[in-house]
Homo-oligomer: A and B are copies of this chain.
Amino acid sequence: MVRYPSGHKERTREQIVSAAARAFREEGVAGVSVGELMGRAGLTHGGFYAHFRSKDDLVAEACRCAFEESTARLREAARRAPPEERLAAFIGAYASPAHRDDPGGGCLMPALSAELSRHAPEVRAAFTEVFREGIAALERQLPDEGTDRTDRALALMSGLAGAVMLARAVDDPALSDRILQASRDVFTAAFAEK
């Protein structure tokens, strides 16, 4: 029955999703066409609809993929630090020039969430899903304290995503660096030193 090596199509699909996850974060969803996407995956535009029902269908899938990829990277950075300093290491890696300069491999929130808020329900549902997952993971790193941990995770995530987004938007490298440095300092002091 299986004329092609089993999983050929599945692997191709994953390549498209992976290419899309990077391209969307780099150029925005509206900034990348289906044809360009298929080209990045080494294919032509026509076969796209054998893999996805629509572009939005791919966007939802790419959200999940982008989250997994970037989370793995940030988790790795945190793991290299001793347990007491893991949260500070995460903050340092997130609000870093390296993260700012690599939107294609970074967190999807500063890159795409503004655009995703105007997308189809299906896409927003996928984003919400990975957002919850990210908050839950961040929560586990926060120290026990008086105020609610979920609340602190939500505020910290907002601060970090905003910092990277604004650091990417401004034109002046010195100002951009300062946004990141100020956010690292202030949020580390506020959330990681208790």
Partner of A154, one of B132, B182, B190: B182
A153: nearest chain-B partner, CB-CB: B182
Of A35-43, A67-75, A169-177, the stretch lying at the interface with chain B is A169-177
Of A11-19, A46-54, A76-84, A119-127, the stretch lying at the interface with chain B is A119-127
Q: Copies of this chain, how many?
A: 2
Pairs A–B under 8 Å by Cβ, sample size 7: A112-B114, A115-B115, A128-B172, A131-B166, A155-B163, A161-B162, A190-B190
A residues contacting B by CB (< 8 A) are 27-28, 30-31, 109-118, 121, 124-125, 127-128, 131-132, 147-148, 150-152, 154-163, 165-166, 168-172, 175, 178-179, 181-183, 185-187, 189-190
